[in-house]
Structure 1
């Protein structure tokens, strides 16, 4: 069994602000290099279970990244995630936002690597590097 990928970091913002920055202002901090179009006009989390996560390119083309499973502002969000992959290769990402004295602990837990077979462990390791770098950009966007 491939262990879940867990990444944690603190941001200097209340958890409601952190949740909104993650979901409603993703385009401010998500790296363009980690998008399908390379320069999306918008990145959208539809705010409900079953909602789409997608990017809209400047020409209006939409590229699905995932699907919202749980929408519990301001403390928790869980979704299927398949950016750059077929939906059949989706993993699950759960993000919790825990208030800690005016700051927020952001915890990302990504599971489902086993369904990818031999590709799971190396993809998990590569994803850890990506979440760590993306977390830095998110931290700056929350300030």
Structure 2
């Protein structure tokens, strides 16, 4: 007998396997400059590097900013949408926010971004988690896993860093 319950269906997925599938997306990049400069580049100047044409609700011409405890996108015509709510703000070391660009806050993921001094400048570690509430958790996670490297490559270039060949442009 393989199981305490001999009638158990062996095709039922192991919950641990499912969780591995939905683990956090973790991206790490390094930019030249101090932690203070890197944090400001990420949070105060997001509108200068974020690819709004492909990763915005209103497209090119809109403006994204960290405003008080919100991450907002504003369209050219003044419409706004909330991308997330900042619930832990520790400048210049880190922030944590809910993340739901283009959707309501009824379901959101979690985003933590941390900044740490390293020999070559500042290391930025982005951890994006909380896929379980999505309509299709695996597809949602896969989309973010594919998109974050491109988005962060834009940030690296904005900060004066170089993106290694073979990495997203």
* Same fold flag (TM > 0.5): yes
Structure with greater helix percent: 1
Q: TM-score, normalised by structure 1?
A: 0.90
For 2:108, which of 51, 71, 90 is the aligned residue? 90
Q: Contact conserved, 2:31 with 2:120, CA < 8 A, in 1?
A: no
For 1:122, which of 106, 117, 139 is the aligned residue? 139
| Partner SS state of residue 103, structure 2 | coil
2: CA distance between counterparts of 1:54 and 1:88?
A: 17
| Partner SS state of residue 123, structure 1 | helix
Q: What is the CA-CA distance between 1:140 and the residue it aligns to?
A: 0.7
Structure possessing the higher relative contact order (Cα contacts under 8 Å, 6 or more residues apart): 1
Q: Contact conserved, 1:5 with 1:111, CA < 8 A, in 2?
A: yes
Greater than 2 Å deviation, 4+ residue runs: 39-42
Q: What is the CA-CA distance between 1:44 and the residue it aligns to?
A: 1.6
Question: Rg larger in 1 or in 2?
Answer: 2
2: CA distance between counterparts of 1:123 and 1:116?
A: 7
For 1:67, which of 85, 94, 100 is the aligned residue? 85
Structure with greater strand percent: 1
- For 2:41, the equivalent position in structure 1 comes to 21
For 2:130, which of 104, 109, 112 is the aligned residue? 112
2: CA distance between counterparts of 1:94 and 1:12?
A: 21
- For 2:5, the equivalent position in structure 1 comes to none
Q: What is the CA-CA distance between 1:40 and the residue it aligns to?
A: 4.0
Q: TM-score, normalised by structure 2?
A: 0.77
- For 2:74, the equivalent position in structure 1 comes to 56
For 2:55, which of 17, 31, 34 is the aligned residue? 34
Q: What is the CA-CA distance between 1:46 and the residue it aligns to?
A: 2.1
What is the alpha-carbon root mean square deviation over aligned residues?
1.4
- For 1:131, the equivalent position in structure 2 comes to 148
- For 1:140, the equivalent position in structure 2 comes to 157
Gaps of 5+ in 1: none
Per-residue Cα deviation, 1:117-138 (whole angstroms, up to 9, x for no partner): 6x11111111011100011000
| Partner SS state of residue 77, structure 2 | coil
Pairing of 1:3-22 with structure 2 (within 5 A): 3-22=23-42
Q: Contact conserved, 2:30 with 2:120, CA < 8 A, in 1?
A: no
